[in-house]
Amino acid sequence: MKYNFQWFEKEDHRRALRASVGRDGKLRLGKILRAALPAYVQIGYDTRTRTLAIADGHGFGIDLPQCGMLSAQALSVQLVASGLRLPVSFLLTKDEQTGYYLGRVFLRRYRVKGTRQRQYDPQQALTLYGHLVDNAVAQQAKSTPLDERRAFAQEAFCRALQDYCPGCGDLETYLAERIRQSLLRENRQFTASYRQRSLDAPLTDDSDDKFCLYDTLAVSSAGGLDSLEEKIMAQQFMDSLTPPERRLARMLQEGYKLGQIAGALAVDEEQVVLLARQIAQKRRKFYAA
């Protein structure tokens, strides 16, 4: 029997480059990070990406104390202004192009008061990963009314956050997948409840998207909810075509021959092929967006 093992090295978290800003407004640099830094440093913070930067001061800037604790009131104000709550921890890596040490916010578990349990701060997590909720609400389960869709996504986010452990892999990927699965699961009750409604009746109150019952039809029983989402996208693409293109696309799907299509559209076969190529180009652009 042949084996193809993938061998793993021991992970030593003690070698991680860490920094944190406490409620007292002081920046604390981890021991390993202090050893890697020069005697003088510059400290910056990008509010948009919530990224901490520590750079070589080249003999100027902040004198790095041996204790690794710096007064950083201005930094703490910027952190709070960007929606974070102190204390905030950073995990840094060295950027080889700039030579800067760049740090992203590292979510830590905090002890629940009166218990031995530890959990993440949901508000802090939503500040950092709220875009996952927004993306899922915009892209998934559109048969569900918008307000309920958002509520389901936020509930799924909080549940996934507390269920997460390092063995689940990357936190952001794990949260996004749990939210997606939850929305599709909750969407079943809404797709089922519209069976007796008019085909043209809108399913949601979204201002940008008006989905009707027709968008949920023609889904195979084995296709599941993922196929439903694919059907919605397919209908959006059909709506983006011109009337002649839409008619041609439907005739092609129904198996009409070129001669039959040309006769029905009162054009020659070369024009049919040209129009079909235009549809193909639009389709590639639509699904690439």
At 102-161, the pLDDT tens digits run 999 988 888 888 888 888 888 899 999 999 999 999 888 877 888 888 999 999 999 999
Per-residue model confidence (pLDDT) at position 206: 53
Instruction: Examine the domain organization and report whether 117 and 100 are in the same domain.
Output: no
Of the three residues 60, 75, 105, the one that is the final residue of a domain is 105
| Mean per-residue pLDDT, 183-209 | 60
Residue 91 falls inside a structural domain:
yes
| Mean per-residue pLDDT, 177-206 | 68
What is the dihedral angle through the alpha carbons of 133, 138, 143, 145, rounded to the nearest 10 degrees?
Answer: 70
Per-residue model confidence (pLDDT) at position 238: 85
Residue 129 structural domain: 109-226
pLDDT at 287 over 80: no
pLDDT at 196 over 50: no
Per-residue model confidence (pLDDT) at position 205: 55
Residue 289: pLDDT band (50, 70, 90) is low
Per-residue model confidence (pLDDT) at position 26: 94
Residue 5 falls inside a structural domain:
no
Residue 85 falls inside a structural domain:
yes
Lowest mean pLDDT among 29-43, 213-227, 230-244, 265-279: 213-227
Residue 220: pLDDT band (50, 70, 90) is very low
Per-residue model confidence (pLDDT) at position 38: 92
Per-residue model confidence (pLDDT) at position 229: 65
pLDDT at 219 over 70: no
Kindly report, residue by residue over 54-94, the tens digit of the pLDDT.
Answer: 999 988 888 888 888 999 999 999 999 888 989 999 999 99
Per-residue model confidence (pLDDT) at position 227: 59
Residue 2 falls inside a structural domain:
no
pLDDT at 170 over 50: yes
Of the three residues 47, 77, 105, the one that is the final residue of a domain is 105
Of the three residues 50, 71, 105, the one that is the final residue of a domain is 105
Kindly report, residue by residue over 237-278, the tens digit of the pLDDT.
Answer: 888 888 888 888 888 777 777 788 888 888 888 888 888 888
Total-model pTM: 0.59
Residue 8 falls inside a structural domain:
no
Instruction: Examine the domain organization and report whether 116 and 73 are in the same domain.
Output: no
- Domain count across the chain: 3
Say whether the peptide bond before residue 202 is cis (omega within 30 degrees of 0): no
Q: What mean pLDDT value characterizes the chain?
A: 82
Name the amino acid, one letter, at 179: I
